[in-house]
Amino acid sequence: TQAQARRELAEDEESWLADGGVALHDTSPSSFLIMGLDLEDMQRRVSKLAKDHARGITETDGASLAEQRAILYQKIQSWRKVQAIYMPGLLQYLENEEKTKPGSTLDGTKAEEQYLWLPSGFPSSVHDKICISNLAISEDKLRTAQCHDSLSGLRDVLLLKSRMVLFKNKNVRGQREGTRSRSIIDRVHDRARKFAMRYRAARVAKFNLCGPGSWEQSLQVLSDSDIRSYQDPEKMKAKTGRKGTLEDSMIPQSISGDGIQGDEINLLNDRTKRDGTGLTRRTLSWIWMVDNNTHNTHSAENNADILRSEWARSRARANRATEEVALLREEMRRVLAFLDWKARWWSSKQASRLVQDVVLTEGLQAYAIDQASLQRQLQESFRVIWKEPL
């Protein structure tokens, strides 16, 4: 977790100072990086507030946006002073890049559009020229912890949302109550967006720092289809609701979208007819199977309980499928045995009825022979069809 990573970095810095190292500033390198990550979160919040303002909000909210931008700008300027100490080669690098690629290093006019230029924003080959030693390694530790914390938060939010949706479907009736509960669920949905954006930004930064590796097996690329609950109530079989009730299958305009567009995440993917609604077609998203190293005992226990219950349900489905296969094979064997018995039964009926009429006797024998032949033909055709399963 981020708390663990911060403590480890603080202990490393303390031991380094105890061995005779010299502090370059009152703000330690790890604190400098943590401030940078916090500024990234503030930029995302202000950017979200700016988008809401563009959609039309009150003047009070507009004043709040201006205040947030001013506060963010002041914090960035204060942080830049510390950045010049721990990244002494930054200005020279930016000047060289500007000469090579004019306009590539220019910041936006707004506080949330300014690029912070952390070590993850540069190629790994120039880290030694720009940053002090081990600064990129420290950021890599913080980014890894940020990824795990974001996934943990995302799982908690999705679990909360699934329970709220199930509660709404079970207890809420009426258009007014349905709209209210839907608005609350939408606010929870926005929290899932924030965690997803943070994870994606942290993963891109980690990839820039250390490149591809075994860590990609656990910290995978997060796509919109991966952001779903373990129960995924939105993809369960749709039910016909009462008229005038806002059902979960009706996707509001505020959370609908096409694919990945910035911070827009469509958690309510349309269920096609081919997808089906059976549990055998449902797969658990990889975000629920990531090793959880957090100290949040309650969250870890919840995730472990979910994995255990899902494993038990999957095992039960697999055992039922195996049992069904065994039963089906037994039914095939019994069908062939029955057809063989039926053919012998018809053959035994050739002389079972004694009549004086010769023509009738021949007709009865012919009918019995024909029925016995038909049963054997059915037995042989089924044996050919069921050759591989049997």
pLDDT in tens, 108-163: 778 888 888 899 988 888 888 888 888 899 999 999 999 999 998 898 898 888 88
Across 346-360, average pLDDT: 85
Q: Is residue 223 part of a domain?
A: yes
Map tokens 């009730």 to a residue. 245
Q: Is residue 147 part of a domain?
A: yes
> Can you give the pLDDT at residue 264?
44
Tens of pLDDT, residue by residue over 32-64, are 999 999 999 999 999 888 887 777 665 556 668
> Can you give the pLDDT at residue 390?
64
> Can you give the pLDDT at residue 292?
58
* CA–CA dist 323, 17 (Å, integer): 66
pTM: 0.69
Of 236-240, 296-300, 316-320, 342-346, the one with minimum mean pLDDT is 236-240
Are residues 45 and 122 located together in one domain of the fold?
yes
CA dihedral 375, 379, 380, 384 (to 10 degrees): 150
Q: Is residue 276 part of a domain?
A: no
Tens of pLDDT, residue by residue over 102-115, are 877 777 778 888 88
> Can you give the pLDDT at residue 231?
67
Are residues 214 and 337 located together in one domain of the fold?
no
For 201, the domain range is 2-237+259-270
Q: Is residue 226 part of a domain?
A: yes
Domains in the chain: how many in total?
2
Alpha helices per DSSP H over the chain: 2-18, 29-56, 59-86, 90-100, 127-130, 135-171, 175-210, 297-348, 358-385
What CA–CA distances, in Å, run from 357 to 352, 362, 364, 369?
14, 9, 11, 19
Are residues 328 and 204 located together in one domain of the fold?
no
pLDDT of 297 higher than 60? no
Across 185-208, average pLDDT: 90
Question: Which of 55-64, 92-101, 374-383 is most confident?
Answer: 374-383
> Can you give the pLDDT at residue 255?
37
Are residues 340 and 265 located together in one domain of the fold?
no
Across 218-235, average pLDDT: 76
User: Across-strand partners of 264?
Assistant: 261
* CA–CA dist 121, 130 (Å, integer): 11
Map tokens 């309650």 to a residue. 298
User: Across-strand partners of 265?
Assistant: none
Are residues 233 and 322 located together in one domain of the fold?
no
Band of residue 298 on the pLDDT scale cut at 50, 70, 90: low
